[in-house]
Amino acid sequence: MKNFIWIGGIVIVLIALMFWGVKSTDIKPPFELGVIHPLDNIKGKIDSKIVVMEYSDFECSACKTYYPIMRELTAEFGDRVAFVYRHFPLIGLHTNAEFAARAAEAAKKQGKFWEMHDLLFEKQDEWAKVANLMPMFESYTKLLGISVEQFKTDFASKEVKDFVKAQRIHAIKSGLQGTPTFFVNGKQIQNPTSVEAFRVIIKDALANQK
């Protein structure tokens, strides 16, 4: 992890494609860049003045590359920084991305969002191109020790579908064009090429807080 990591490039989304069928959502208050929402998935110090916000897609290979980086940074700065994960499934490029986001949100209903988040990235090669996802997702719920039937109900629920859709639409309307995209205190940063580079950005934000 301490070695230099080069990301070949984030996925670029065709704007016309991503805006196809975009409609407003009813979630209030609306999502904002850099502002923690009551429904957000947060790790670390929830009331921190330093907020690292990630817009991500579980099927995105670059997002998978950043996954261990974010885990390391969360372990290091979690007592001082709020880390927020937001869904931005690139449905025009990744067939199963939205389903994976719904799987994470369904697991959240049983208190296992982050555990499912980790599994989806670690096992991305298993499910990313599978036509029938549910048996695989059910196997993940068993690994997590949660109710399969409750998971299936929540996965299919309007609430979970609408939440994932709302975060995706928010990302599109905010002008985001790929994943992963990171914000620190509401300011978009250029994707760091190593955990060390990301660590410097967070340390600078903490220092400026003082």
pLDDT at 25: 59
**What is the identity of the amino acid at 200?**
V
Helix orientation angle between 113-122 and 61-77, rounded to the nearest 10 degrees: 130
Residue 160 pLDDT exceeds 50: yes
pLDDT at 12: 40
Inter-CA distances, 133 with 3, 153, 155, Å:
34, 15, 12
Q: Long-range contacts made by residues 8-11, C-beta under 8 angstroms, separation at least 24?
A: 8/62, 9/62, 10/62, 10/178, 10/179, 10/180, 10/181, 10/191, 11/57, 11/60, 11/62, 11/90, 11/93, 11/178, 11/179
The tens digit of pLDDT for each residue in 164-201 reads 999 999 999 999 999 999 999 999 999 999 999 999 99
pLDDT at 27: 86
For residue 32, the cross-strand partners are 35
The tens digit of pLDDT for each residue in 93-127 reads 999 999 999 999 999 999 999 999 999 999 999 99
Residue 88 pLDDT exceeds 70: yes
For residue 83, the cross-strand partners are 43, 52
Residues 138-164: what's their mean pLDDT? 98
The tens digit of pLDDT for each residue in 10-58 reads 444 433 334 444 454 568 889 999 999 999 999 999 999 999 999 999 9
For the four alpha carbons of 121, 125, 130 and 135, in that order, the dihedral sign comes to: negative
Q: What share of the chain is helix, strand, coil (3-state, %, to 5)?
A: 45, 10, 40
3-state secondary structure of 84: strand
Dist. CA 162–CA 37, nearest whole Å = 15
The beta-strand segments (E) located in the chain are 41-44, 51-56, 82-87, 181-184, 187-189
For the four alpha carbons of 105, 110, 114 and 118, in that order, the dihedral sign comes to: negative
Tokens of 30: 């609306």
Q: Look at the pTM and tell me if it is higher than 0.85.
A: yes
pLDDT at 83: 98
How does the average pLDDT of the chain come out, rounded? 90
pLDDT at 209: 84
Q: Which is more confidently placed, 79 or 13?
A: 79
Residue 2 pLDDT exceeds 60: no
pLDDT at 36: 96
- In the structure, what pLDDT confidence band is assigned to residue 210 with cuts at 50, 70 and 90? low
